[in-house]
Amino acid sequence: MRAELRDKRDALLAKIGTRPLVMGILNVTPDSFSDGGRFQTADEAVAHATRMVVDGCDIVDIGGESTRPGATPASEVDELARVVPIVERLAQVVDVPLSIDTYKANVARTALERGAVLVNDVWGLQGDAAMADAVAEAEAVIVIMHNRAQTDAAIDIVTDILRFFNRSLALAERAGIPRQRIILDPGVGFAKTSSQNRDAVACIAQLKDYGLPILVGVSRKRFLGSMTDGAEGSLVGTIAANLTAAAAGAAIFRVHDVAEHVAAFKVFHTIRTRVAKQP
């Protein structure tokens, strides 16, 4: 990893836990569930990312393949064509660290060469056998997210999350990824029922037992509607869920609405810090 990228990586790692961190979502896809097709040109994508940085995001997460249920998988060639030009340009114009949202090792490797410092892997090192080595060789940060091939309402989702993380962490250790560069994500909205999504948020305190930072991605997710009379995807529901996760110990929040979350977390962190100082 180049020296300037290593500095960004290390500054990010040092910041985790000092306050809630906001990861701004930049989907350069035609079919993502919330903002697909909005930022397909390089100029549109760079402008949106720049706005998110001005609004206060700590990380820009760039994705070139939709992971919503029923989405058409993107080929590696298409995904590279979508994300690489954006990573290259953003690395030159924004100061915050860049994340590549992919489960393909070659896409991750290329993005890390061009300016990303973090890989956000929705298959937690288990989707591509080469991913763990790619992350280790690049000295990158890795977000290990829980996922399943299909939803199963009969299972205990928390037990499944723990088993998945144990497998992924073993892969990371085997590849030589230091634990201080690992972040866990319970995978809200991925192959889970609405009830299981609520359990995934509720188990954050338990996940803290791993001694690793927790990232949550509840932004505009459909399960929020089951608690708000159908107002799925609402900003209010998203902020409420994220504040609940923050109170439980989550450290990083992947969101579409950066400015609103930055403001909400400032209030949360200021009051929580004051409460912690009370005798």
Query: Would you name the residues annotated as active-site residues?
Result: 221, 254
- CA dist., res. 146 & res. 148, Å (int): 7
Question: For residue 84, how far is the Cα from the chain centroid?
Answer: 18
Question: For residue 50, how far is the Cα from the chain centroid?
Answer: 18
Q: What is the DSSP letter of 65?
A: S
Return the amino acid letter for 234: S
- CA dist., res. 226 & res. 203, Å (int): 19
- CA dist., res. 157 & res. 170, Å (int): 20
Note whether 77 and 23 are within 8 A (CB): no
For 260, other C-beta atoms within 10 Å of its C-beta total 16
Cα angle, residue 152 at apex, residues 148 and 154 outer, rounded to 5°: 135
Q: What is the DSSP letter of 188?
A: T
